[in-house]
Amino acid sequence: MIDVHCHLEQKDYEKDRDEVIEKCKEKLKAVITCCCHPDDFDLTMELVEKYKNFVFATVSIHPEYIKEIDHLKVDEFFKKIEENKEKIVGIGETGLDFIIEEAEWRKKQKELFKKFIQLARDLKKPLVIHARKAFLEAIEILEKFGEKNVLMHFFTAKELLPRVMKNGWSISVNTTLLKSKKIKKIVRDMPLGKILLETDSPWLGEGKRNDPLSVEIIAREIAKIKKLDFNEINKITDENVKKFFNLPI
């Protein structure tokens, strides 16, 4: 099993980060940690180096940080990403977050999103998309760019699933699957060859700190929905990850 979207750089893991990763190595084939802020970049790269061929990284700026990041810092961050492109397997999570309601900041989110799409193109990396309350707007932008290698992280917009499938994109599913009828239907309708496992840990732990080992719970639930063997789910989703991110494992 592989967790394609967690946040090992978060302070929740400060006291036992190495212990958590070592436990993951016992059961998982790989973990992809998502760096969402320039301040977390160095630690993320350290983890990739320390746990080579087990911890991989995607990198971007989460759209919720749009108000605190000036253009100079963004330019510096882009340069660091380009300089470390061999240590990065994807660009993300990037996209739109319309919890931020002001029109001017939503406009700036779209501008930054487009920059990251172009960066992914330049570096020939896949995109991992965050689109809270903004799936339609994010999909429209991606379609205008003609993007093909796209992972819709924490996808919940069932009404837009036909467009995601038509574009040949993938989705990642986390523990919210256990309680969401909408996500269960998305998993039911989405081809297994386009489904990846994620935890978004340390969050989504039902009041406790979550970690990448929760992918097992998700895989078992997908097996029930798809009426397939648990091991078959593991095999296919692992292959999906290796193909999508071109993981050297």
Rounded average pLDDT per 10-residue block, the chain, 249 residues: 98 98 98 97 98 98 93 90 98 98 97 98 98 98 98 98 98 98 98 98 96 98 98 98 96
For the four alpha carbons of 241, 132, 144 and 91, in that order, the dihedral sign comes to negative
Alpha-carbon gap, residue 164 to 2, rounded angstroms: 22
The four Cα atoms 100, 104, 110, 116 give a dihedral, to 10 degrees, of -90
Helix ranges, the chain (H): 17-27, 41-50, 71-83, 103-123, 135-145, 161-166, 181-189, 215-226, 230-245
pTM for the model stands at 0.97
- The reported pLDDT for the residue numbered 69 is 85
Domain 2-245, what fold?
TIM Barrel (3.20.20)
Those residues whose C-beta lies under 8 Å from the C-beta of residue 219, and which sit 6 or more positions away, are 1, 197, 230, 233, 234, 237
DSSP three-state, residue 56: strand
- Summarised one tens digit per residue, pLDDT across range 118-135 is 999 999 999 999 999 999
Domain definitions of the chain by residue range? 2-245
